[in-house]
């Protein structure tokens, strides 16, 4: 069983790989489309699960409230860019420019979580709870993966 920190870090490594794969493509190619769809769905489900199962625990501490709000705010900003990119023509020059902005922001976000948030979070989610939080995160992510399209459709109805 994976700890919460290992589960999130493993996702981050997968996301970094997908970012590299997308950056190595050009135009509206099958390779770009496949890597983008994998990235889009995985990041959407990862972010939702992280907010529900990890950040909610951090909010027990005063410092955790600020850290969680900051991270959730970054998720919201990246989600906006994800949706813009998802609706853009991948062959347009603006797509790659916008993707590079997302890549930069997400790299920063992952680094901040792994280097700063995790260290402080270990005071809230200690070793004895790591695996339970990790399992809840993975379960929630799986559930969220099935909701990606529904959430997108619901958002469009607002």
Domain ranges for the chain, please list them. 4-157
Q: Is 55 exposed, middle or buried (0-12, 13-18, 19+ CB in 10 A)?
A: buried
Mean pLDDT score, 64-75: 86
How far apart, in whole angstroms, are the C-alpha atoms of residue 138 and residue 147?
14
Task: Give the pLDDT band of residue 4 (cuts 50, 70, 90).
Answer: very high
- Supply the pLDDT for residue 157: 42
pLDDT tens profile 126-137: 788 889 999 999
Could you count the other beta carbons within 10 Å of the beta carbon of residue 71?
A: 20
pTM over 0.85: yes
Dump strand ranges (E) for 47-104. Answer: none
How many angstroms separate the Cα of 24 from the Cα of each of 15, 35, 61? Answer: 14, 10, 41
């Amino acid at each position: 069983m994976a700890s919460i920190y290992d589960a999130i870090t493993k996702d981050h490594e997968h996301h970094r790989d997908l970012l590299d794969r997308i950056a190595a493509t050009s135009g509206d190619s099958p390779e770009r489309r496949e890597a983008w769809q994998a990235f889009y769905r995985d990041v959407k489900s990862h972010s939702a699960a992280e907010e529900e199962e990890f950040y909610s625990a951090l909010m027990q501490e005063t410092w955790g409230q600020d850290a969680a709000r900051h991270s959730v705010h970054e998720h919201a900003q990246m989600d906006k860019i994800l949706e813009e990119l998802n609706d853009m023509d991948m062959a347009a020059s603006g797509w790659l420019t916008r993707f590079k902005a997302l890549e930069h922001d997400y790299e920063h976000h992952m680094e901040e979580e792994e280097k700063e948030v995790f260290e402080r979070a270990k005071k809230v989610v200690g070793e004895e709870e790591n695996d339970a939080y990790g399992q809840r995160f993975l379960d929630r992510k799986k559930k969220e993966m099935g909701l990606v399209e529904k959430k997108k459709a619901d958002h469009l109805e607002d």
